[in-house]
């Protein structure tokens, strides 16, 4: 076990630091010797209580606890004992991965307060919107008070500026009381460049593999049993202590493991054994991630599909820069809808290599989106989709993905047409790092605004200036999805020059990407449209439709 274990007033402090010959615990100003075992754990049991601060005095320097539960003063300061007690009221809630509708949010910018309490104040709104799960961008302690969270360095500590561990528990409790699941974004591929005290303590990091963002965990070399345990116990920790329902694993393509059993397979097993689910961010278009073990996969429940996003974005915006150079045709969208991966063994010009492999799984194995923190935030101006295309196109994009067989994920604010940007922001303290990030973001992302400035962070906060028409459409689309759709891959797609018809179960969905004339040989009643050119009653015939979408309930059912 990692971190302080509290039981019956006693606390067992434990540090995995095989590089250190001697470690002492410094607790409330006193020091205590710790015993080292053959695997490199240093341990001592003492009387201690909630609120007590501690560090470890090692022969390699004084360090906070890498498995600290709370860092009230941030990544460079003392660790603090927290209470495991919490008045949970969510007995009635059961986590479920069925028919998820996810809402991705960043705690710091979602509300004015920028805290878990701020999120709580909007739970009724989210519940009313109809989503079934919140997905929190990483909350593991990262440097400073502002950040996306992917530079976290304490896997077990909840960000102090968000409200710490008790704040997160309150949020989960309140979400569960409203029937909302909570998915946590966890970063097991690297740790941030500032505040990483683990590196001097033991072989936490790989010497074989490199990521673009920093050191990656050592999952397959000397000491890797402990590193794997560090991560697997972290999964259990979030479930057991915080009642987290599911996980979003950041960038699994940067998790390297040549062990006979991949750490991703083990993470999925740990989550499943507790009735929870796991979603992977994967850039590999590799069926192995989500295939079950019988199909030689890791058994992860779902993965993000950038191909869908890129297809829709490139087609609607006309952008062809960067990864969008591989997309832009309407047939990319239809291939994404039917085959999931647009690149399933095709040569990608952007990547300069053949990419992907075909996959064939139900829609519940995939999460799609028309925006997410990366797609918005990695643009130079942090522009949301609503700022790039007209509202008609925006409505089309929304309907396309919310009515698809996949799990849809809304990026906070998208549902009402938020126009504030979502920029990259940070709050490092190391001047060199600050300069490096500034330069890197300018050079690689074209972000002119200073990531380190509080202004950049503040300007990324949601305004909640609601476009009621968009919000109503989102709500109605979610209702229709819940009532009529599922994850079965029975979608039929008819593609025209600049229109598309999707048929699934009893629904017929018409998308006019421009003003179009579309022939239909079906009957149906209009459930929802984004403009009045879509007739209330559909009969066989040709229709002149204005740019937009219409959803019909057909009389012929799923044999249409």
Active site residues per annotation: 250, 281
**Residues 303/282, Cβ–Cβ less than 8 Å:** yes
Element (H, E) at 528: strand 524-529
**Residues 493/502, Cβ–Cβ less than 8 Å:** yes
Q: Tell me: is residue 272 an annotated ligand-binding position.
A: no
Coil vs helix vs strand at 277: strand
Q: How far is the CB of 221 from a second copy (least distance, A)?
A: 7
**Furthest C-alpha separation in the chain:** 85
The answer to the question of residue 256 lying near a second copy (CB under 8 A) is: yes
Q: Tell me: is residue 250 an annotated ligand-binding position.
A: yes
Q: Tell me: is residue 76 an annotated ligand-binding position.
A: no
Q: Tell me: is residue 378 an annotated ligand-binding position.
A: yes
The 10 Å Cβ neighbour count of residue 509 is: 23
Q: Tell me: is residue 252 an annotated ligand-binding position.
A: yes
Residues 268-287 contacting a second copy, CB under 8 A: 284-287
Coil vs helix vs strand at 317: helix
The answer to the question of residue 26 lying near a second copy (CB under 8 A) is: no
Binding a second copy (rule: CB under 8 A), the pick from 49, 94, 210, 331 is 210
The answer to the question of residue 352 lying near a second copy (CB under 8 A) is: yes
- The gap from C-alpha 450 to its chain's centroid, in whole angstroms, comes to 24
- Choose between 145 and 259: whose C-beta lies nearer to a second copy: 259
What does the DSSP 8-state code read for residue 443?
Answer: I
Binding a second copy (rule: CB under 8 A), the pick from 62, 99, 347, 463 is 347
Residues contacting 51, CB < 8 A, separation 6+: 80, 81
Binding a second copy (rule: CB under 8 A), the pick from 221, 383, 467, 498 is 221
* x/- map, 223-242, a second copy, by CB under 8 A: xxx-----------------
**Residues 437/451, Cβ–Cβ less than 8 Å:** yes
**Cα dihedral angle (148, 154, 155, 158), rounded to 10 degrees?**
-70
CA 429/CA 431 separation, integer angstroms: 6
Q: How far is the CB of 269 from a second copy (least distance, A)?
A: 14
Binding a second copy (rule: CB under 8 A), the pick from 117, 145, 259, 531 is 259
- Choose between 66 and 203: whose C-beta lies nearer to a second copy: 203
Terminal C-alpha separation, the chain: 57
The answer to the question of residue 214 lying near a second copy (CB under 8 A) is: no
- Choose between 261 and 544: whose C-beta lies nearer to a second copy: 261
* x/- map, 354-393, a second copy, by CB under 8 A: x-xx------------------------------------
Element (H, E) at 116: helix 116-120
Coil vs helix vs strand at 373: helix
- Choose between 86 and 324: whose C-beta lies nearer to a second copy: 324
- Choose between 343 and 457: whose C-beta lies nearer to a second copy: 343
Binding a second copy (rule: CB under 8 A), the pick from 261, 320, 419, 514 is 261
Nearest of 417, 432, 435 to residue 473 by alpha carbon:
417
- Contacts with a second copy by CB under 8 A: the residue count is 30
CA 443/CA 37 separation, integer angstroms: 48
Rounded to a whole number of angstroms, the CA Rg of the chain reads 25
CA 54/CA 64 separation, integer angstroms: 7
Q: Tell me: is residue 56 an annotated ligand-binding position.
A: no
The answer to the question of residue 222 lying near a second copy (CB under 8 A) is: yes
The answer to the question of residue 557 lying near a second copy (CB under 8 A) is: no
Q: Which residues are annotated as a binding site for substrate?
A: 248-253, 306-310, 373-378
Binding site for a second copy (CB under 8 A): 207-211, 220-225, 253, 256, 258-261, 284-288, 296, 347, 351-354, 356-357
Residues belonging to the binding site are 248-253, 306-310, 373-378
């Amino acid at each position: 076990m990692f971190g302080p274990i509290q039981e019956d007033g006693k606390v067992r402090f434990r540090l995995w630091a095989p590089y250190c010959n001697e470690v002492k615990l410094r607790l409330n100003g006193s020091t205590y010797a710790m015993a080292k075992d053959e695997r490199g754990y240093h341990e001592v049991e003492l009387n201690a209580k909630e609120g007590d601060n501690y560090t470890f005095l090692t022969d390699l320097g004084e360090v906070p606890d890498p498995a600290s539960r709370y860092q009230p003063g941030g990544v460079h300061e003392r660790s603090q004992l927290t209470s495991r007690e919490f008045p949970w009221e969510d007995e009635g809630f059961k986590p479920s991965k069925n028919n998820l509708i996810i809402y991705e949010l960043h705690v710091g910018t979602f509300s004015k307060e920028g805290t878990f309490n701020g999120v709580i104040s909007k739970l009724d709104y989210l519940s009313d919107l109809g989503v079934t799960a919140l997905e929190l961008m990483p909350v593991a302690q990262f440097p400073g008070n502002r950040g996306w969270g992917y530079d976290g360095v304490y896997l077990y500590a909840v960000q102090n500026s968000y409200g710490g561990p008790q704040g997160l528990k309150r949020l989960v409790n309140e979400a569960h009381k409203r029937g909302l699941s909570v998915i946590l974004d966890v970063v097991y591929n690297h740790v941030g460049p500032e505040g990483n005290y683990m590196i001097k303590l033991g072989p936490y990091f790989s010497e074989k593999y490199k990521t673009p963002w920093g050191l990656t965990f050592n999952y397959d070399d000397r000491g890797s049993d402990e590193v794997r345990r560090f991560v697997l116990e972290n999964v259990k920790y979030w479930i057991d202590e915080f009642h987290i329902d599911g996980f979003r694993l950041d960038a699994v393509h940067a998790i390297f493991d040549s062990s006979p059993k991949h750490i991703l397979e083990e993470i999925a097993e740990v989550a499943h054994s507790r009735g929870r689910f796991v979603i992977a961010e994967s850039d590999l278009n590799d069926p192995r991630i989500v295939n079950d073990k019988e199909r030689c996969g890791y058994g992860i429940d779902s993965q993000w599909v950038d191909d869908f996003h890129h297809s829709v974005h490139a087609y609607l915006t006309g952008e062809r820069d960067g990864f969008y150079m591989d997309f832009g045709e309407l047939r990319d969208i239809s291939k994404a809808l039917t085959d999931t991966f647009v690149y399933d063994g095709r040569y990608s010009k952007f990547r300069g290599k053949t990419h992907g492999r075909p996959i064939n799984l139900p829609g519940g194995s995939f999460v799609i989106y028309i925006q997410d923190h990366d797609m918005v935030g990695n643009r130079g101006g942090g522009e949301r989709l609503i700022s790039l295309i007209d509202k008609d196109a925006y409505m089309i994009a929304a309907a396309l993905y919310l009515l698809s067989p996949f799990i849809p994920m809304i990026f906070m604010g998208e549902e009402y047409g938020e126009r504030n940007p979502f920029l990259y922001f940070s709050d490092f303290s190391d001047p060199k790092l600050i300069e490096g990030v500034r330069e890197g973001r300018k050079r690689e992302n074209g972000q002119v605004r200073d990531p380190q400035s509080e202004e950049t962070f503040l300007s990324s906060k949601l305004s909640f200036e609601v476009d009621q028409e968009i919000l109503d459409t989102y709500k109605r689309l979610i209702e229709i999805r819940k009532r009529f759709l599922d994850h079965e891959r029975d979608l039929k797609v008819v593609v025209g020059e600049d229109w598309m018809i999707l048929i699934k179960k009893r629904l017929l969905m018409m998308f006019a990407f421009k003003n179009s004339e579309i022939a239909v040989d079906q009957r149906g009643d209009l459930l929802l449209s984004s403009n009045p050119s879509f007739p209330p009653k559909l009969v066989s015939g040709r229709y002149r439709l204005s740019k937009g979408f219409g959803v019909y309930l057909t009389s012929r059912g799923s044999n249409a």
